[in-house]
Amino acid sequence: MNKQGTITVGGQAYDAVTGLPIAETAAVPQPEPSAAHTATSHAAKIHVTTQRSSTLNRKFVGQPKRLRTDITTAHRTTPVASQTVHKQTHPHVKRFAPHPTAVTRPTESHAPAVVHPHVAKAHALSAAKAEPRSAVHVPARDTGRDTIARAIENSHPQRGTHKSKFWQRQRVTSIVAATFALVLLGGYFTYLNMPSLSVRVAAAQAGIDAAYPDYHPDGYALNGPVTYTDGRVSMNFKANASEANFTVNQSESGWDSTAVLDNYVLPRAGSSYMPFTERGLTIYTFGNNAAWVNGGILYTIDGDAPLSNEQIRRIATSLL
């Protein structure tokens, strides 16, 4: 063994540490060979014959073995050959390159694989996400506007509530106002029609077809309730600025105009009466009083109110 850590056996250089042959001995710097060594090497290249056995120092070198001088073949040494070389290396060489170990492949099992529940759930979610959906393209600008609008609405959660409550109060107020107006209007019409309603009630109680006059002189109004007896209805009108008044009476009768003149007018007025005809009616006036008959009802006006013939005529025709 020289100082460079190599061992030369049969003209082949080996690494003293790994025991492997050195591919290119020229790459390792060698001391200048002597003339005898050069001649021996040259003779070994020319005469490719079996070298005679020689006794070596067994303390440092193992049993000599014939090796091929082909460097390329030495590089292609199989792992078994390398293992053999390792066994024939110097006993002081203790470090070797790791030997490749055979990989034992697990025996394949034909039993069906059991899928973990969590793995199955993950696969289901992945499949659901992978399903095609109707994609709607929303421009980024519109998305930003929607986000801003939602942020504004969320920043003022009470504004819509107050507005809704305000409109609800307005609606309730409008409904109450409309109802109150209807009540007032109904009350007004009821007030206007109250005399007529009172006359109808009294007529029903008296058992005759009585009516309320649609006309009464200005400054006069119905005074008190409508009174009635069996077969007779009376209503009194009084002046607003004085005590003057007149009463319109309606009673059931079988008289005609001549009977009214003979049985009612002449006994009260004598010859001081004035007859006139209006819309088929024969009306007799005497002083502030009047009398006529229509449809089996005897109509009379009496009192101290200074009524003109025109006012009496209009009252009579308004009762038709």
Number of domains in the chain: 2
Q: Which residues contact 313 (CB under 8 A, 6 or more apart)?
A: 276, 278, 283
Q: Which residue has the higher pLDDT, 89 or 168?
A: 168
Q: Which segments of the chain are extended strands (E)?
A: 6-9, 12-15, 220-222, 227-229, 232-239, 245-252, 274-278, 281-286, 289-294, 297-303
Of 243, 241, 263, 245, the C-alpha closest to 254 is: 263
Q: Is residue 156 part of a domain?
A: no
Q: Report, in this order, helix, strand and coil percent for the chain, each rounded to 5.
A: 40, 15, 40
Please give the average per-residue pLDDT across 307-318, as a whole number.
92
What count of other Cβ atoms lies within 10 Å of the Cβ of residue 312? 22
Residue 145, helix vs strand vs coil: helix
Query: CA–CA separation, 10 vs 56, rounded Å?
Result: 12
Structure tokens at 319: 């009762």
- Enter the DSSP assignment of 131: S
pLDDT tens digits along 160-195:
556 677 788 888 888 988 998 888 887 766 766 688
Q: For residue 109, is it within any domain? A: no
Query: Quick one: which of 14, 28, 96, 29 has its CA closest to 60?
Result: 14
- The per-residue pLDDT for range 109-144, each reduced to its tens digit, is 555 667 778 788 888 888 887 765 554 555 555 556
Other CB atoms closer than 10 Å to residue 20's CB: what's the count? 17
Is residue 10 scored above 50 in pLDDT? Answer: yes
Q: Is residue 69 part of a domain?
A: yes
d(CA 318, CA 310): 12
> Has residue 189 been placed in a domain?
no
**Helix (H), strand (E), coil (C) string for 93-118:** CCCCCCCCCCCCCCCCCCCCCCCCHH
Residue 111 region by backbone torsions, left for phi larger than 0, else alpha for psi between -120 and 50, else beta = beta
Within-domain flag for 180: no
Sign of CA dihedral 103, 107, 112, 115: negative
For residue 74, pLDDT beyond 50: no
Q: What are phi and psi of 234, to 5 degrees?
A: -135, 145
Residue 101 included in any domain: no
Least confident window among 61-65, 116-120, 315-319: 61-65
Q: What is the DSSP string of 241-262?
A: SSS-EEEEEEEE----HHHHII
Of 26, 54, 87, the residue at which a domain comes to its end is 87
Do 226 and 233 form a contact (C-beta atoms < 8 A)? yes
Residue 3's pLDDT is what? 52
Residue 115: predicted pLDDT:
73
Question: Is 21 part of a structural domain of the chain?
Answer: yes
- pLDDT at 34 > cutoff 70: no
Q: Give domain status of residue 68, yes or no.
A: yes
Cα 197 versus chain centre, distance: 57
Query: Looking at per-residue confidence, does 188 or 228 come out higher?
Result: 228
Q: What is the mean pLDDT of residues 74-94?
A: 51
- The strand pairing partners of 286, in sequence order, are 289
Domain span including residue 77: 6-87
* CATH number, position 266: 3.30.200
Ranges 117-131, 205-219, 300-314: which has the least confidence: 117-131
Rounded to whole angstroms, the Cα distance separating 176 from 22 reads 117
Measured at the CA of 178, the angle between CA 158 and CA 169, to 5 degrees, comes to 10
Looking at 42, 71, 87, which one is the last position of a domain?
87
pLDDT of residue 84: 45
Say what the pLDDT of residue 52 is: 64
Angle at which helices 157-206 and 140-155 cross, to 10°: 60
Q: Which of 55, 87, 119 is the last residue of a domain?
A: 87
